[in-house]
């Protein structure tokens, strides 16, 4: 059975008068067990939704940090089975857990089979950075049908460059939440938050009741607080990965830094609307 919809985490955060904190971490980095331990640290330190990255050989939407982590995971031999094992371990904590993946691994594995195995691992859904609802042939519609059959969230992206028509089409096909990319660019921590994010969130909320999470570039509590003022969720990825990348030979130090960063971000989303 699939895990709880990500929507439940947004609703709980909303009840507490705050934005949800969503953390991305690639499975198998630097190895499968450490990856699981790292994500559990994120959960214990305040992440409301976990996004587990499926390492892929050609990650066109990722900047150097996540590319490097994915490459390490692939060099270590990570397989889709390891990603699902990671989902199972994390979902067991009770936190809604989704997989973020480029489309070809799912396509090769079999869309229906992937949906079934993800659901039985306790996963809550998929974020698909290079699959839009209208990706064809054999793309968006196949995934929506499989997600429907297995009660999984389907989280598509909207971008500052999306037309209003596309935002309406995308949100109508979404379940769980909508992922708003705050910048025009690849993943990676940035010093300043983007002024493109707020208008995008406003345009998205105009056509859907789904929660809207904002990602790309967030790396500290202050930025999380700023985005948390207008978004339902704040998504952080590269900054988490960086803590482990920066401590290659001292795993405990990396995990401590990861926990401290998560706590700072969790404080940020709680400060936002005070």
Partner 1 sequence: MTDPTATGVFGEFGGRFMPEALIAALDELDAAWQEAMADPVFVAEFEAVLRDYAGMPSPLYEATRLSEQVGARILLKREDLNHTGAHKIRNVMGQALLTKRMGKKRVIAETGAGQHGVASATAAAYFGLDCTVYMGAVDTRRQALNVARMHLLGATVVPVESGSATLKDAINEALREWVATVDHTAYLFGTAAGPHPFPSMVRDFCRGIGDEARAQCLERYGVLPDAVAACVGGGSNAIGLFTAFLDDADVAVWGFEAGGDGVETGRHAATIGAGRPGVLHGARTYVLQDDDGQTIESHSISAGLDYPGVGPEHAHLAASGRAIYESVTDTEAMDALALLARSEGIIPAIESAHAVAGALRKARALAAEKGPEATVLINLSGRGDKDMGTAIEWFGLGDPDEVTAEPVGEQREGNAP
Tokens of 97: 């857990």
Using rule CB under 8 A, residue 189 touches partner 1: no
When the beta carbons of 80 and 245 are compared against partner 1, the nearer one is 80
Token duo for residue 248: 């290659």
Could you tell me the smallest distance in angstroms from the CB atom of residue 158 to partner 1?
Answer: 6
- 51 catalytic? Reply is yes
* Nearest C-alpha neighbor of 25 from the set 44, 56, 7, 50: 50
**Residue 105 beta carbon to partner 1: minimum distance, rounded to whole angstroms:** 4
Nearest to 86 by CA among 61, 131, 48, 55: 55
Which residue out of 51, 153, 198, 226 is catalytically annotated?
51
Give ∠ CA 164-153-240 in degrees, rounded to 5: 90
Which residues make beta-bridge pairs with 235?
22
3-state secondary structure of 256: helix
In terms of C-beta density within 10 A (0-12 exposed, 13-18 middle, 19 or more buried), how is residue 10 classed?
buried
Could you identify the residue written with the tokens 């990861």?
A: 258
One residue of 105, 168, 264, 271 binding partner 1 per CB under 8 A:
105
Q: Is 171 in the site for partner 1 (CB under 8 A)?
A: no
Sign of CA dihedral 91, 83, 247, 50: negative
- Selected range binding partner 1 among 5-13, 28-36, 116-124, 125-133, rule: CB under 8 A: 125-133
Q: Which is nearer to partner 1, 39 or 131 (CB)?
A: 131
| Nearest-10 crossing angle of helices 251-271, 238-245 | 160
Contact indicator for 50, 94 with CB cutoff of 8 Å:
no
CB 140 within 8 A of CB 130: no
Work out whether 67 is an interface residue with partner 1 (CB under 8 A).
yes
Tell me: does residue 104 bind partner 1 (CB under 8 A). yes
By CB under 8 A, tell whether 32 contacts partner 1.
no
79 binds partner 1 (CB under 8 A): yes
Q: Is 195 in the site for partner 1 (CB under 8 A)?
A: no
Quote the tokens at residue 64.
């150097």
Q: Min. distance of Cβ 47 from partner 1 in angstroms?
A: 24
Among 65, 171, 181, 238, binds partner 1 (CB under 8 A): 181
60 binds partner 1 (CB under 8 A): yes
- Residue 238 sits in the site that holds partner 1 (CB under 8 A): no
* Count of residues interacting with partner 1 (CB under 8 A): 45
Whether 15 is catalytic is: no
Q: Is 256 a residue that touches partner 1 (CB under 8 A)?
A: no
For residues 253 and 258, give the distance between their C-alpha atoms in angstroms, rounded to a whole number: 9
CA distance 156 to 173: 8
Tell me: does residue 56 bind partner 1 (CB under 8 A). yes
Question: Which of the residues are catalytic?
Answer: 51, 62
Residues binding partner 1 (CB under 8 A): 56-63, 67, 71, 74, 79-80, 103-109, 129-132, 134-139, 156-163, 166, 170, 181, 183-186
């Amino acid at each position: 059975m699939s895990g709880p919809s990500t929507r439940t985490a947004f609703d709980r955060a909303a009840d507490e008068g705050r934005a949800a904190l969503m953390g991305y971490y690639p499975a198998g980095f630097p190895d499968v067990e450490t990856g699981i331990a790292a994500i559990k640290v994120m959960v214990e330190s305040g992440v409301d939704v976990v996004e587990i990255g499926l390492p892929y050989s050609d990650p066109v939407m990722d900047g150097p940090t996540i590319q490097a982590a994915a490459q390490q995971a692939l060099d270590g031999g990570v397989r889709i089975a390891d990603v699902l094992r990671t989902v199972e371990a994390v979902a067991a904590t009770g936190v809604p857990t989704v997989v973020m993946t480029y489309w070809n691994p799912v396509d090769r594995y079999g869309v229906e089979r992937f949906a079934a195995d993800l659901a039985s691992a306790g996963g809550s859904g998929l974020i698909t950075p290079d699959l839009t609802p209208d990706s064809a042939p054999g793309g968006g519609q196949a995934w929506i049908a499989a997600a429907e059959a297995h009660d999984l969230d389907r989280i598509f992206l909207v971008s500052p460059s999306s037309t209003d028509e596309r935002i309406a089409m995308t949100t109508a096909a979404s379940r769980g939440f909508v992922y708003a990319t705050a910048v025009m660019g690849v993943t990676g921590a940035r010093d300043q938050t983007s002024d493109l994010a707020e208008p995008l969130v406003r345009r998205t909320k105009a056509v859907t009741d789904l929660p809207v999470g904002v990602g790309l570039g967030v790396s500290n509590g202050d930025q999380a607080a700023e985005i948390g003022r207008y978004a339902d969720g704040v998504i952080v990825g590269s900054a988490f990965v960086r803590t482990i990348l920066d401590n290659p030979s001292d795993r405990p130090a990396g995990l401590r830094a990861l926990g401290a960063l998560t706590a700072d971000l969790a404080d940020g989303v709680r400060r936002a609307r005070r």
